[in-house]
Chain A
């Protein structure tokens, strides 16, 4: 509000004076806003009475920070930005050649991903690398795979699916149940879990074929909850909320096992020291391979008629029908393909955890996966991978912020602020890039040259 008033007087008032005034205004507003929030705090004393704690120093700090921030922004940052903009406008319109990193983003990404566990082992040793490979590497890659799978449904076909975690659950329970009861190998159950999730994708797809937008979102949301509730309540099979434990580990294609007690335990076969890190590193490469498979299939499918039909469906369903595209099967294949990758990720998740329970498949998971897709830019694999890194890696790294205790005192627990920061980051990204990190779209075929299609032309789909 203050900014709009002052901008009219831009020419008259010198910037520093204006900045000073705006800073004072901002301070006053902050004082008004925070005097009750920060200045006073309700607490309990030792005899369990409600008391008011006065925190005037903290309030003063916040108010001063706001005022100074506004002063610096109006006085220095704004003129600098305007100057930069003017210079840019003056400079001849040279199409900036994308830098080396941007040009070879995918290749660099692949190399970094391949070398990551090795680097971690070299840096932290086998035991120290566990956290970095497992909590960061595998965790992020699971979400990359889930988001890439959901990207087929939401990003390409434009069908808003809020219950994607259901397919993740189907995959996880398929492996958990078949693996524990029948002792089948992961390498058989992985495709089986994928098929089963795809089947459920079609089961979901049929009733929602006619629905669009909000209605579709609500039905998919309900579907996700139904699956979770069935898992909780069908105790005889799923063991309810207690979950299934003792899920067999993945073997190295049956040649080597990662169970210490087995005769073909990897350390015994290779005559190396015993360590739990081997399994984690193996899992890392396994999920990386699954991610590559997802990416490969997605890229290939986009160039095939079915992928183009998905995107055309997102753009205009009626036009699709007028061109002889069977929108029913097209939608169902999108649901099935997306669900299949969710199922793969689920069975991997079960194998990695060794334990599954309905707790892992709550709506928040669906929301996070969808947020990754939206944040990354619908349809773009690279953007989604970066978004998964930021969202999952970011929330994980916020656990590591113990040094903040030095600043805010020993009471401060950075973990409590994870979700707040998470939400703020999302808001900022959406303001800065409303179409996600990668808003443009790569065309799937070209006559002369491949030019990215600006996000302003692509549609989000009708849901």
Chain B
């Protein structure tokens, strides 16, 4: 996508990452990079595989294929897919938070942050033995760790509640505490899984501030649904749909990408079908109903119905499975529609497109209708994308 500068500019390089659960392709051939000192946002509709990408990066899943390279500031490089789970935070300095908050609810805020400094303290306590006999080196390290915890508690605006159990905190504060806990591991890359989920606008603004502050010292990889957060703070956005990257670039370029508008900001299946009905493309409608041509399996993006069809996507890290109806990839539909429009003047131009597309081409009124529909569909979905949405549909 971008011109590639020297690899050390990138803190994280994901190359050809695939994750399959049985027959289901949760992530298919995903490549992207995250630049050092930037906030990279990973967005996409529910079930797009964002959390799976996180789970691969942080070692909770072992990817089926692909390479995840982490370049540390000191020049050392780690292949994350080869590291055991717990060594990714410990050695590669990648920390993460969870979509469904995972705090140690029975421990106080301070203890939560001290647990995060486990490896450092473990060394200082001479793997428990020196600490057991109260050696001064451990006491000093212990005091330092409490200072670090206090520092992050202050940043997260939680220092007043340091001695309360974490489970007692309100939701927004738990989110901030989870970020503070991740920061206490001293990460170079912080992976945040929907940090703004369930926050009110005020809390969300406070979170933005915290993230901008963290950004100064730590690169951030962010999964987020809240577009106000994504557009405001991220420097780079990667958009996933059904485990495939459909767009990659600055927030501005991404939000003007028609595929993103269709996929992420939402054109309902019914609306697409409506468009197609209006266009009068019966073959396409038939395709929508019967699923993909067996000759064009998932992954053949030139196909009308590219993308995994009728599948389930492992979403959260504990077995929450979302069943997806067939023919769901909206980005692919946009592609298909664009292809059908493009192929109108010269039907033979796109040999890869299906016969149905070719057949659809001669029907003249098709040209304008999708544009109008796309405009109406995207309206009211997302403020950020609205101005561009109208112009998109028919352009390609």
Contacts and interface: CB of A to CB of B under 8 A. Distances in A.
Contacts of B108: 443, 445-446, 451, 453
A447 B150 CA distance: 8
25 contacts: A304-B132, A305-B115, A305-B131, A308-B107, A308-B111, A308-B114, A308-B115, A309-B118, A311-B104, A311-B111, A315-B103, A321-B60, A321-B85, A321-B86, A322-B96, A322-B97, A323-B115, A323-B181, A324-B185, A443-B163, A445-B111, A447-B146, A451-B163, A457-B105, A457-B167
A448 interface: yes
B70 interface: no
Contact of A309 (B60, B90, B115, B134): B115
Interface string A297-310: 10011001110110
Interface in B152-177: 153, 159, 162-168
Nearest to A322: B96
B114 A445 contact: yes
A452 to B, nearest CB: 10
B131 A300 contact: yes
Interface string A438-463: 00010111111111011011110000
A325 B138 CA distance: 18
B310 interface: no
B118 A325 contact: yes
A323 B95 contact: yes
A457 B106 contact: yes
Interface in A291-336: 297, 300-301, 304-306, 308-309, 311-312, 314-316, 318-327, 333
Nearest to B127: A306
A441 B89 contact: no
Interface of B: 58-60, 85-91, 95-98, 102-108, 110-111, 114-119, 121-122, 125, 128, 131-132, 134, 138, 142, 146, 149-150, 153, 159, 162-168, 181-182, 185, 317-318
A304 B106 contact: no
Contacts of B149: 447
A324 B87 contact: yes
Given A304-B125, A315-B103, 14 more contacts: A304-B138, A305-B114, A305-B115, A306-B122, A308-B111, A315-B107, A318-B102, A319-B98, A324-B118, A325-B118, A441-B106, A443-B107, A443-B163, A445-B142
B149 to A, nearest CB: 8
A446 B113 CA distance: 11
Contacts of B181: 323
B118 to A, nearest CB: 5
A315 B168 CA distance: 14
Given A445-B114, A457-B168, A315 B86 contact: no
Nearest to B141: A305
Chain A, interface residues (CB within 8 Å), range: 35 or more
Q: Of B103, B111, B149, which is in contact with the most chain A CB atoms at under 10 Å from its CB? A: B111
Given A319-B98, A445-B110, A304 B104 contact: no
Contacts, number: 147
Contacts of A306: 122, 125, 128
A6 to B, nearest CB: 38
B220 to A, nearest CB: 16
Given A308-B111, A318-B102, A459-B105, A324 B164 contact: no
B118 A453 contact: no
Given A305-B125, A308-B115, A321-B85, A316 B104 contact: yes
A31 to B, nearest CB: 48
Contacts of B102: 316, 318-319, 322
A325 B106 contact: no
Contacts of B88: 324
A446 B112 CA distance: 11
A319 B159 CA distance: 22
A316 B103 contact: yes
A326 B86 contact: yes
A312 B131 CA distance: 19
A305 B49 CA distance: 35
A328 to B, nearest CB: 8
B121 A305 contact: yes
A291 to B, nearest CB: 17
B289 to A, nearest CB: 41
Contacts of A301: 128, 132
Contacts of A444: 111, 114
B107 A324 contact: no
A314 B106 CA distance: 9
Q: Of B119, B132, B165, B317, which is in contact with the most chain A CB atoms at under 10 Å from its CB? A: B165
B164 A451 contact: yes
